[in-house]
């Protein structure tokens, strides 16, 4: 009997070799790094940062003041109808024909109640064109006074032409039949001619009182052309100098603040231009008055008796920083001649004499300079002790550290750790200082500083 052939197959199992999964390894490293970073961030000190930027602080106080001028009211000395032959608010010379008195009202076609249309000569046109070209070439949008000057020049030229036209009108009128009954009056002095009168023309510091500063019941009168007048009526106002003053009432606190002030910048009627004024404080029986004295721009406000005026007590530009960032720190002050450089580096420092192995050894100690005057330097006190002896590298003289001085500054964080930097304060508001920009050993625009200087110490590493 034939045997059966064994067809079974033996299968041997081998253990699979574990291959390294690079992705899992990288993920594990990243995960560990994130955990460490988060733990470091959570457990570390966090400091608020302020970015230094350029800015300004403007401190001003607004008042309503009364204008005092060297002015007088010229009256008529005859009855009749008055007519003016000079443009209002124009400068006139003594003896200029200014108005006429006639028994009857003059025909309207023979007089001009407004500034007449004037024909400019070719020379005047050329002058206007040249002034306009010069203004365009030299214009600086940071200096608004150029606009005022240009406007004044144009107004003067046009007013001169208008006055010439009015003078020609008067001459033509005098040569006509209507001119037979005219009486011509001239100005008694040089000045500026105005048709606004209010009864305050004779007011002065010696005659005014507190009620004059109240404009509640104030009224003025605009004198009209071709009106009927009587002997003694007001004809016009003549302002004889360009000097004028504004008197304002001050509170006790403002008077105390301004008691030593002799000059102040002002802004009148919300103008964009500032005008400097000499300042005088007057104690008028317990009421304080501030007198602002000007020598220009009178004609701009000749028709006003009361004006709003701002006293600009501080107007500084520089680097704007929070008050909370500022601190004071004490430094050793030593002569600049003691500063030298290390033999193996370019670092600045001093030579310090110290006792080692029962003998004195002079060694170089690197030291940051925080401020430098003409002949003195400020050194960080954290790396020295009172009584340390410095050696002058030139002559060998010695100096025992003792003299200290205080600097005002902030903690700079640009390098990732706190570093004291001095600041020079120019002015302040409730929450900010304006400090000098570009000073040596000081801040620059876009520097990062600690917002709260009490939250750190110098040399701390900061996580932002």
In terms of phi and psi (left: phi > 0; alpha: psi -120 to 50; beta: otherwise), the region of 89 is left
pLDDT of residue 44: 64
* DSSP state for residue 149 in the 8-state scheme: H
Kind and range of the H or E run holding 65: strand 53-75
**So where are the chain's domains?**
63-316, 334-403
Cα separation, 96 vs 344, whole angstroms = 88
Cα separation, 331 vs 349, whole angstroms = 15
pLDDT of residue 115: 47
Are 414 and 52 in contact, with CB atoms under 8 Å apart?
no
Cα separation, 117 vs 127, whole angstroms = 19
Q: What is the pTM of this model?
A: 0.62
Q: What is the pLDDT of residues 86-128, one digit of tens each?
A: 878 888 899 988 888 888 877 655 555 444 455 555 666 666 6
The candidate with the shortest Cα–Cα distance to 185, out of 275, 76, 110, is 76
* DSSP state for residue 244 in the 8-state scheme: E
Q: Is 453 helix (H, G, I), strand (E, B) or coil?
A: helix
Q: Is 28 helix (H, G, I), strand (E, B) or coil?
A: helix
pLDDT of residue 67: 97
Q: What pLDDT tens digit does each residue of the chain (464 aa) get? A: 445 555 666 666 655 555 667 778 788 889 898 988 787 766 666 788 999 999 988 888 999 999 999 999 999 999 998 888 887 888 889 998 888 888 887 765 555 544 445 555 566 666 666 667 666 766 666 555 566 666 666 665 555 555 556 666 656 666 665 555 688 888 999 999 999 999 999 999 999 998 999 999 899 999 988 889 999 999 999 999 999 999 999 999 999 999 999 999 999 988 878 899 999 999 988 889 999 999 988 988 999 999 999 999 888 889 999 999 999 999 999 999 999 887 667 788 888 887 776 777 888 888 888 888 888 999 988 888 888 899 988 877 888 898 999 999 999 999 888 999 999 999 988 899 999 988 888 899 999 999 999 988 888 887 66
Q: Considering Cα of 147, then 151, then 152, then 157, what sign does the dihedral take?
A: positive
Cα separation, 187 vs 96, whole angstroms = 5
pLDDT of residue 192: 93
pLDDT of residue 132: 73
Number of Cα atoms under 13 Å in the Cβ half of residue 367: 27
pLDDT of residue 267: 92
The candidate with the shortest Cα–Cα distance to 78, out of 105, 95, 98, 103, is 103
């Amino acid at each position: 009997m034939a045997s059966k052939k064994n067809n079974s197959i033996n299968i041997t199992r081998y253990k699979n070799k574990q291959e390294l999964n690079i992705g899992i390894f990288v993920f594990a490293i990243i995960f560990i790094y994130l955990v460490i970073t988060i733990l470091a961030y959570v457990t570390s000190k966090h400091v608020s940062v302020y970015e230094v930027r350029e800015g300004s602080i403007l401190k001003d106080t607004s008042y309503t003041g009364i204008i005092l001028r060297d002015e007088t009211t010229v009256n008529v000395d005859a009855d009749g109808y008055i007519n003016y032959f000079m443009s209002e608010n124009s400068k006139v010379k003594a003896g200029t024909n200014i108005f006429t008195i006639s028994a009857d009202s003059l025909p309207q076609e023979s007089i001009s109640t407004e500034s007449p249309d004037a024909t400019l000569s070719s020379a005047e046109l050329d002058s206007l064109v040249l002034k306009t070209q010069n203004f365009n070439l030299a214009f600086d949008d940071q200096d608004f006074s150029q606009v005022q000057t240009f406007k004044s020049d144009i107004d003067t030229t046009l007013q001169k032409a208008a006055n010439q036209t009015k003078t020609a009108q008067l001459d033509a009128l005098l040569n006509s039949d209507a001119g037979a009954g005219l009486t011509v009056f001239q100005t008694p002095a040089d000045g500026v001619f105005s048709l606004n009168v209010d009864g305050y023309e004779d007011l002065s510091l010696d005659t005014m009182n507190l009620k004059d500063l109240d404009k509640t019941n104030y009224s003025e009168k605009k004198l009209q052309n071709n009106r009927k007048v009587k002997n003694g009526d007001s004809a016009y106002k003549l302002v004889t100098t360009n000097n004028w003053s504004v008197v304002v009432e001050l509170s006790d606190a403002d008077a105390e603040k301004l008691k030593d002030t002799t000059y102040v910048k002002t802004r009148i009627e919300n103008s964009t231009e500032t005008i400097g004024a000499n300042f005088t404080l007057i104690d008028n029986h317990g009421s304080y008055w501030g007198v602002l004295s000007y020598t220009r721009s009178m004609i701009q406000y000749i028709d006003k008796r009361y004006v709003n005026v701002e006293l600009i007590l501080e107007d500084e530009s520089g680097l704007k920083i929070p008050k909370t960032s500022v601190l004071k720190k004490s430094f050793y002050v030593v002569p600049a001649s003691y500063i030298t450089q290390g033999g193996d580096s370019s670092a600045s420092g001093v030579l310090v004499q110290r006792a080692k192995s029962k003998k004195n050894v002079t060694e170089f100690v690197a030291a940051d300079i925080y401020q430098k005057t003409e002949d003195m330097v400020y050194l960080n006190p954290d790396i020295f002790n009172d009584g340390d002896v410095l050696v002058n590298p030139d002559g060998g003289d010695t100096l025992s550290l003792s003299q200290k001085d205080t600097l005002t500054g902030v903690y700079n964080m640009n390098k990732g750790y706190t570093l004291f930097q001095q600041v020079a304060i120019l002015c302040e508001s409730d929450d900010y200082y304006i400090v000098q920009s570009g000073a040596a050993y000081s801040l620059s625009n876009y520097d990062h500083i600690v917002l709260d200087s009490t939250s750190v110490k110098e040399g701390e590493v900061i996580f932002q």
